[in-house]
Amino acid sequence: MCPNYSMKRRSFVVATLGLIPLAGCLGDDPVVEELHQANDSSSFEAEAGEEYEVTIAAGEDGVTVIIELGGEEQWDWSLSAEDEVTDTIEIPEDGEYVLSVTEGSAFITVE
């Protein structure tokens, strides 16, 4: 066996082991990440106590966004053209939440 091969293999193993603790810090995939137009909606399952960061980047015509649970409004945002907002929401109870754009358009991320 070539001594250089052993050194390369050892370096690879050490480098890989060094990255494993970072894997959990890279973040989860967003539950919503898409462009929404008026009357578009997306849904996601969430459990009580979970926190999500909601980012809304309004289009040229502004936007009105709501998040509902069981038909009851939980959160709402109205933004002017080209505005952007990021809020943290805490889920009050388990269930399927529906994010809807009632007016305008926006790129929306929930993560």
Q: Strand pairing of 41-46 and 32-37?
A: unpaired
Domains of the chain: 28-110 (2.60.120.260)
57-95: per-residue pLDDT in tens?
999 999 999 999 999 999 999 999 999 999 999 999 999
Q: What is the average pLDDT score of the chain?
A: 84
In sequence order, what are the residues at sequence separation of 6 or more whose Cβ sits closer than 8 angstroms to the Cβ of residue 87? 53, 54, 75, 77
Q: Is the pLDDT confidence value at 31 over 80?
A: yes
Q: Strand pairing of 72-79 and 32-37?
A: unpaired
Tokens of 110: 């929930």
Q: Strand pairing of 95-110 and 32-37?
A: antiparallel
Q: Strand pairing of 41-46 and 51-69?
A: unpaired
